Structure 1
Amino acid sequence: MALPLLNRLTGSTGLSLAVLGVGNIGSVHLKSAVAMSGVEVAAAADAVPENRTRAERAGVSRTYDDYGTLLESEELDAAVVALPPFLHADAVERAAEAGVDVFVEKPLARSTEEADRLLETAREAGIAVGVDHTLRYQPDVAGVKEAYDEGSVGHVPYASITRLNDHPLGRPPAREAPPEWPTDPDAAGGGSLFELGIHCFDVLEWLFGDLEVRDAAMGRTLDTEAEDAATVLVEAPETGTTITLHCGTYQWEQLPEVNTRLRLEGVTGTISNRDHLPGNFYAGAATSALSNLASRLTGDDPDVFGPTFYLQAHYDALADFCTAIREGERPPIDGADGRRALALAERAYDLAAERGESNAAADDLETPEVSP
């Protein structure tokens, strides 16, 4: 669906884009944008001096310590919002005032209420909102989608998805304190369910249509305020599929090389994302790990495209957003998609709270076994 209000590019040789936030994921978006043809990275903003230096090393000529000042000062077509979740709504509001389309890192907001305000502001200003739900772009997940859509296993009565990642504290023992916001549910919106489960909800809806959350439990393996483990029971009424979802941010000694597992148990067979991994995945991951270790020792920036299996997905998601903006079309994953994922997460939190009131053992979730 074309959106006429989006056809208002600045007239530069490429799509003029800024990156708001150049931390971990912001660096990925920045280097992705720098590598794209037809995109000009005009500026970047970050409150941390080291992050601004990182942007300058990546080739950005103008950096700001305040994203509001950047949006007021630059002539832009689009901005990547890679700030902590508690700043997303404000950043989108500032972008709306400047008439700048936005690509927002997930979660879109900290709540559906906040998302509704954000999206209404964008609608009134006529700007587009894209959301970085990149799991759809990973080749293994896309392979599952393609096989399922082809009907290769027939009806799928049961499916499961697991997504894991490092805890903000990093590998044990924690040597330095992480930023405060990732472990603050007021700032982040929640714990691992917001950090990782949001991706899972988006992929499941992409596969099976509308979802209903039936039950949920949250747990903590560390003494933190936000949950670092969540297990959710989901149903897809349209396809008659029951799904279990587990996500966790654990303090791993070594993070699993494949941190997402997706299985569809069909009546004539099983589809697994592991069957759709690139043939050179494990060799590429090992090479990248050695390269990035050497980068840390020499003080250089790690290669954000290694292993490309994960980070190429971020590139492709941003590239699709930029193409949509350039052509005056709705982003392929837009604010409505991000809002629906938030609603599912909120329902899971509500059910887990009800469970916790009647079951004090809800915090005793067992860490799932992960095999290579």
Structure 2
Amino acid sequence: MRVGIAGAGFMARTHAEEYAGMGVEVAAVASRSGPQGFIDELGLDATAHTDVATLCKRTDIDYLDVCTPTHTHLDLVRTAAEAGVDVFVEKPVAGTLGEAHKIADIVDEADLTFMVGHVVRFDQAYRAAKDLEIGSHGVARARRLSPFPDWGSDDWFADREKSGGIFVDLGIHDLDYLRWCWGEVDRVFARRRRDASAEHGFVTLRFESGAVGYVESSWSQPDSRPFTTELEFAGDDGLVELSSADESPYREWADDAVVERPVAKNAYRRELEHFIACLESGTEPEVGVADATESLRLALAAERSAERGEPVRPEEVVA
């Protein structure tokens, strides 16, 4: 497989480092500011481009991996489709439902293999939690706490018109995951605090089943605090708890050796391998544009609820 990467920032680096262990050749990288430094630093044998259209037209690539800010996704998907190139795009699928619907039309018309990188679904601990039997669903709680992401080019995370803010960019990880596990959501109620360089939000979900979900997302942690995630599922027959603060949640003893971390593949590797397997087999990826759009709808419902100070039904969010 030969991939072209759109972007040369943090997520592009994350994907490129995974490709290095997958036998996937990064054949080209495109970035408006010029990706040659990125290519040299990672030791890639890739051509450098300043626009994705040139990358798609001049390079023999099997697919485009879009690792650029959210507000650019629609244009890049359209560019790839015009060149007949399949697409993997980082979450969220878009910043608005209107853009997401346009992407859906483009993908359908061009008959692309298309996947959105909702990476939490491919985290082995989270997948295991989904499958554990806890009886009737009661309460789900998810937390994702981080310092403000200051690695974005031109500080695009701080521009809510580009990033969408805490619910659309960060909270959507857990909103998507909880919807995947426990089904559709009937109502959303959210609160948040924000300033120019910090944001912290809370979302309460009422699932159609009657279960309740609670999502806490933060871009307001001190730089000294590491990125932290937590998950709790409570049912009438069991309780599941996960925390990234547990440094070694699993150990295996074999003969005289103790294997502290037997999981060799992280979630990014697993999701990229899944997409490539879909390309090779001609099957539909696990997270398509329709599924990703509904998760975006939840995040936008949370944003609307926080603005209004009242609950919002997801179906009310139509644009």
Task: Tell me if both proteins adopt one fold, taking TM over 0.5 as the criterion.
Answer: yes
Structure 1 counterpart of 2:38? 54
2:204 is aligned with 1:233 = yes
Task: Report the Cα offset of residue 213 of structure 1.
Answer: 3.2
Post-superposition Cα deviations, 1:72-124, rounded to whole Å, max 9, x if no partner, equal 21122211000111111000000000111111011110111110001101111
Q: 1:68–1:318: structure 2 CA closer, same or farther, 3 Å change rule?
A: same
Among residues 79, 101, 110, which one is paired with 1:125 in the alignment?
Answer: 110
Structure 1 counterpart of 2:235? 266
Give the number of equivalent residue pairs: 300
Structure 2 counterpart of 1:80? 65
Structure 1 counterpart of 2:13? 27
Work out whether residues 230 and 244 of structure 2, in 8 Å CA contact, stay in contact via their aligned partners in 1: no
Unaligned segments of structure 1, at least 5 residues: 1-14, 171-176, 283-306, 357-372
Q: Give the aligned residue type for 2:36.
A: R
Work out whether residues 143 and 273 of structure 1, in 8 Å CA contact, stay in contact via their aligned partners in 2: no
Task: Report the Cα offset of residue 318 of structure 1.
Answer: 0.9
Structure 1 counterpart of 2:216? 246
Which runs of 4 or more aligned residues in structure 1 lie more than 4 Å from their structure 2 counterparts after TM superposition?
275-278, 307-311
Matches within 5 A, 1:72-111: 72-111=57-96
2:99 is aligned with 1:114 = yes
Work out whether residues 22 and 52 of structure 1, in 8 Å CA contact, stay in contact via their aligned partners in 2: no
Q: 1:178–1:96: structure 2 CA closer, same or farther, 3 Å change rule?
A: closer
* Higher-helix-fraction structure: 1
Structure 2 counterpart of 1:40? 25
Post-superposition Cα deviations, 1:212-262, rounded to whole Å, max 9, x if no partner, equal 333111211x435xx711111112213x311111101124132335x1111
Among residues 151, 163, 168, which one is paired with 2:144 in the alignment?
Answer: 163
Task: Report the Cα offset of residue 143 of structure 1.
Answer: 2.4
TM-score (norm 2): 0.86
Query: Partner of 2:217: helix, strand, or coil?
Result: strand
Task: Report the Cα offset of residue 278 of structure 1.
Answer: 7.3
Q: Give the aligned residue type for 2:39.
A: A
Q: What is the CA–CA distance in structure 2 between the aligned matches of 1:328 and 1:42, rounded to whole Å?
A: 22
2:108 is aligned with 1:134 = no
Among residues 50, 53, 57, which one is paired with 1:65 in the alignment?
Answer: 50
Post-superposition Cα deviations, 1:174-196, rounded to whole Å, max 9, x if no partner, equal xxx962311111112x1111121
Structure 2 counterpart of 1:180? 155
Query: Partner of 2:202: helix, strand, or coil?
Result: strand
Q: What is the CA–CA distance in structure 2 between the aligned matches of 1:253 and 1:186, rounded to whole Å?
A: 25
Identity, % of aligned pairs? 27
Structure 2 counterpart of 1:342? 296
Structure 2 counterpart of 1:5? none
Work out whether residues 182 and 191 of structure 1, in 8 Å CA contact, stay in contact via their aligned partners in 2: yes
Q: 1:67–1:308: structure 2 CA closer, same or farther, 3 Å change rule?
A: farther
* Higher-strand-fraction structure: 2
Task: Report the Cα offset of residue 41 of structure 1.
Answer: 2.1
2:2 is aligned with 1:16 = yes
Q: Give the aligned residue type for 1:78.
A: Y
Structure 2 counterpart of 1:368? none
Task: Report the Cα offset of residue 269 of structure 1.
Answer: 3.0
Query: Partner of 2:20: helix, strand, or coil?
Result: helix
Structure 2 counterpart of 1:320? 274
RMSD: 2.6
Work out whether residues 144 and 229 of structure 2, in 8 Å CA contact, stay in contact via their aligned partners in 1: yes
